[in-house]
A and B are shown apart, each in its own frame.
Chain A
Amino acid sequence: MLYRENGQFKTTYAADLQIFPILQDRIAIIALLVLAFAVVPALSSEYFLRAILTPFLILSLAALGLNVLVGYCGQISLGTGAFMAVGAYAAYNFHVRIDGMPLILSLLLGGLMATLVGVLFGIPSLRIKGLYLAVATLAAQFFTDWAFLRINWFTNNSASGSVSVAGLSVLGMPIETPVQKYLLCLSFLAVFGLLTKNLVRGAIGREWMAIRDMDVAAAVIGIRPVYAKLSAFAVSSFIVGVAGALWGFIHLGAWEPAAFSIDRSFQLLFMVIIGGLGSIMGSIFGAAFIVLLPIFLNQVPGWFGLSISTALASHLEFMVFGALIVFFLIVEPHGLARLWSTFKEKLRLWPFPH
């Protein structure tokens, strides 16, 4: 019985209010952070850092943001790509139009603009619910797709509508090597993960979840749906916006609106559902699953020395990917995070079956 909470008595509520009340969890999370900040960058190849870990971290961040909205507040959104785009383009404008703007500030301001747009598009949620809302959020998606292509001001009058940034630095340190980029994204994820965790286990988080689970009852205990929903939209689009800015600035370097297309929105929704709605870890699991799986599947034939045509390989990859999604949903409709906690529960009982 390696994993158990028996015997860990909490004598104060403050102790129980810690993020990870169980000692083993605390140790695990510290180990994880050390691993992520120190060991991984030292051991990983450039390809791994640049092409896998960095996008994985950024998309985890975006998924985290989306999870606030969908998982905690229960408002399904298919417009995530739009908020990422707003974050990226806004950050871009701050970056190029204001001389000497610090990178971090640009990114955060990008998030702030995304917040504004997010709240604006969140207003319909006060009346429209469920799938209707989900589809209606596509309005945001297509509108921003259009706006960033059509309105030249947003792209600093670049003829083609594509923008790019270069020469990034934080506090005088250049952000150029894969390790630096990785660490920057990781720091963002860690900080936002912590802040979000604080939010969702605090009063505001309870308001979101209350609205999600039963809005009439929530109103009766004095929760204002307007405030709860719009604050969820605000927090969510802030995080998503920052993730969008990172995606543009750090991962791509140059982008066009297609980088934040509807496919991105679906991809993120996938992540939060596969990972687990209403779970911080779930967002990260989900991002790992969705980012890593295709890359992994893509390389499988190679390991077995099979040479199948690229098209066939990629179709098979689609099929396996789709099948695995369905498979995981069947095994655990509440996502990988729930699967993980079930596993922990089993571990708690181990070696006695029940």
Chain B
Amino acid sequence: QDTKEQFFPLLVYRTGPYAPNGTPWANGKQDYIKLVNSQGGINGVKIAFEECETGYATDKGVECYERLKSRPGVAVFDPQSTGITFALTDKAPSDKIPLITLGYGLSASQDGNVFKWNFPLMGSYWTGADILVQHIAKREGGLDKLKGKKIALVYHDSPFGKEPIPLLQERAKLHGFELSLIPVTAPGVEQKSAWLQVRQQRPDYVMLWGWGVMNSTALKEAVATGYPRDKMYGVWWAGAEPDVKDVGANAKGYHALALNTAGTQPKVIQDILKNVHDKGQGTGPRDEVGQVLYTRGVIIQMLTIEAVKRAQERFGKGKVMTGEQVRWGMENLALDQKKLDALGFAGVLRPISTSCQDHMGSTWARIHTWDGAKWGEMSDWYQADDSLLKPMVKAAADKYAGEKKITRRSAEDCGS
């Protein structure tokens, strides 16, 4: 490659129904790149980037992908949408471009033996749902206490919202709680009947698998039907500022999964404020820096860049990496606490290490609670239960492999 820059295509949605959530996420990603560039790039390799607006629509996402994938120095795509991920999953292998789908996408793609190019780093909907069940159980005083309880899943009626269902059903069978499924038609602006159902069924807990406007509307309906907010648990995509901001104090007590912390204390956030925003190069408004989704964007970009670094360690420092090489880097991430601290991510996330079999690297997450004005109070870390997940992931991956006539990767392939 004759380019001197590593190129990061950024698929974003700053417009449309999901814009309030898509925007801080996209800003975080950009700001981190700017930070790295201001510090000299990846071992001297500068990062070029370009945003492409998808509006959360699959076909626009595909167009963006096709447009940007052949840029020189392209390293990795982050589709930022479950639907786009599905469409790109088939294209990535032939284009030899890895997909990073942090906290979303196909749960089964954790299995790197089948999904060579997918990286659902840090968690999937199955791990998320699993952790929520664990947390609720803990609150009740043990998994056995779940017996006879009633949990309602209020979910976005789309593949995104339906992903956790198999796991929850599995858990329900295991512990004897009753799971009721309440779909909300996308985008979720009218939820009266969903919440009437909640009121009718009086579940002990409500899990909220929403995105965008659905989350705040759900909270408002919960207020209107008098469902206690502190019995509500959201997925990590229902646990950021835009979801609760305009419900404000009324949402006090609502919990959600947290893949990362929020706030401006972490060193990396301070660095961004100092080296990017104070120089007038910030992407979004300054007071949004350090918010939940913003920080998640930063993490995604950090992991991507670390993958490039890791690849450079093997394929040559200071060189521009190909997609193929970055994939290797991503498959061999080993970010221990020390490295994270050095990068300024102390306390933001747990160490992560990936392998050929495990493209997720970490299944740890916490639960945080809205205090009426900001996301505060973090629970302890939980880890998804491998004994439950592994067989499910394997079964799903095998089914996929069967349909697609893919053979599992051999040991040498893993090593390469």
A residues apposed to B, CB below 8 Å: 45-47, 50-52, 55, 96, 146, 149-150, 156, 159-162, 164, 166-167, 176, 251-259, 263, 295, 298, 309-311, 313-315, 318
User: What is the count of residue pairs linking A and B with beta-carbon distances less than 8 angstroms?
Assistant: 108
Q: Enumerate chain B residues within 8 angstroms of A96, measured Cβ to Cβ.
A: 403
Least Cβ–Cβ distance between A81 and chain B, in angstroms: 12
Report, nearest first, the 5 A-B pairs whose CB atoms are least far apart.
Answer: A51-B66, A311-B14, A160-B159, A253-B90, A254-B86
Given A166-B404, A315-B15, residue A51 in contact with residue B166 (CB < 8 A): no
Least Cβ–Cβ distance between B6 and chain A, in angstroms: 20
B314 CB within 8 Å of chain A: no
B408 CB within 8 Å of chain A: no
A256–B159 Cα distance when bound, in Å, is: 7
In the complex, given contacts A166-B90, A311-B15, what are 9 additional A-B residue pairs having Cβ atoms less than 8 angstroms apart? Answer: A149-B162, A149-B183, A159-B165, A159-B396, A160-B162, A254-B89, A254-B90, A255-B58, A258-B58
Contact A46 B53 (CB under 8 A): no
Contact A252 B159 (CB under 8 A): no
Q: Enumerate chain A residues within 8 angstroms of B15, measured Cβ to Cβ.
A: 311, 314-315, 318
Contact A47 B67 (CB under 8 A): yes
Contact B59 A251 (CB under 8 A): yes
Contact B405 A166 (CB under 8 A): yes
Q: Enumerate chain B residues within 8 angstroms of A164, measured Cβ to Cβ.
A: 86, 89-90, 403-404
Interface band, chain B: 35 or more
The residue on B at minimum CB distance from A294 is B60
Least Cβ–Cβ distance between B64 and chain A, in angstroms: 8
Contact B162 A159 (CB under 8 A): yes
Binary per-residue interface labels of chain B (176-219) against chain A in the complex, 1 for a CB within 8 Å, 0 otherwise = 00000001011000000000000000000000000000000000
Least Cβ–Cβ distance between B63 and chain A, in angstroms: 4
B329 CB within 8 Å of chain A: no
B62 CB within 8 Å of chain A: yes
B residues apposed to A, CB below 8 Å: 12, 14-15, 19, 23, 26, 51-53, 55, 57-59, 62-63, 65-67, 69-70, 82-83, 86-87, 89-91, 94, 106, 157-160, 162-163, 165-166, 183, 185-186, 396, 403-405
Least Cβ–Cβ distance between A301 and chain B, in angstroms: 12
- Per a CB cutoff under 8 Å, which of A51, A149, A318 touches B67? A51
21 A-B Cβ contacts within 8 A? A47-B67, A51-B63, A55-B63, A149-B162, A156-B403, A159-B165, A160-B82, A160-B162, A162-B82, A253-B91, A254-B87, A255-B86, A258-B58, A258-B158, A295-B63, A298-B53, A309-B14, A310-B51, A310-B53, A311-B15, A311-B53
A257–B161 Cα distance when bound, in Å, is: 13
The residue on B at minimum CB distance from A160 is B159
Least Cβ–Cβ distance between A95 and chain B, in angstroms: 10
Least Cβ–Cβ distance between A341 and chain B, in angstroms: 31
Contact A161 B162 (CB under 8 A): yes
Given A51-B67, A159-B162, A310-B51, residue A253 in contact with residue B405 (CB < 8 A): no
Contact B90 A258 (CB under 8 A): no
Contact A252 B163 (CB under 8 A): no
Q: Enumerate chain A residues within 8 angstroms of B185, measured Cβ to Cβ.
A: 146
A161–B70 Cα distance when bound, in Å, is: 31
Q: Enumerate chain B residues within 8 angstroms of A313, measured Cβ to Cβ.
A: 53
A140–B325 Cα distance when bound, in Å, is: 47
A159–B166 Cα distance when bound, in Å, is: 7
Contact B62 A159 (CB under 8 A): no
A160–B161 Cα distance when bound, in Å, is: 8
Q: Enumerate chain B residues within 8 angstroms of A318, measured Cβ to Cβ.
A: 15
Q: Enumerate chain B residues within 8 angstroms of A310, measured Cβ to Cβ.
A: 12, 14, 26, 51-53
Contact A252 B158 (CB under 8 A): no
Contact B53 A259 (CB under 8 A): no
Q: Enumerate chain A residues within 8 angstroms of B51, measured Cβ to Cβ.
A: 310
The residue on B at minimum CB distance from A264 is B59
Contact B53 A253 (CB under 8 A): no
A46–B213 Cα distance when bound, in Å, is: 37
Of B62, B83, B159, B166, chain A has the most CB atoms within 10 Å of the CB of: B159
Contact B158 A256 (CB under 8 A): yes
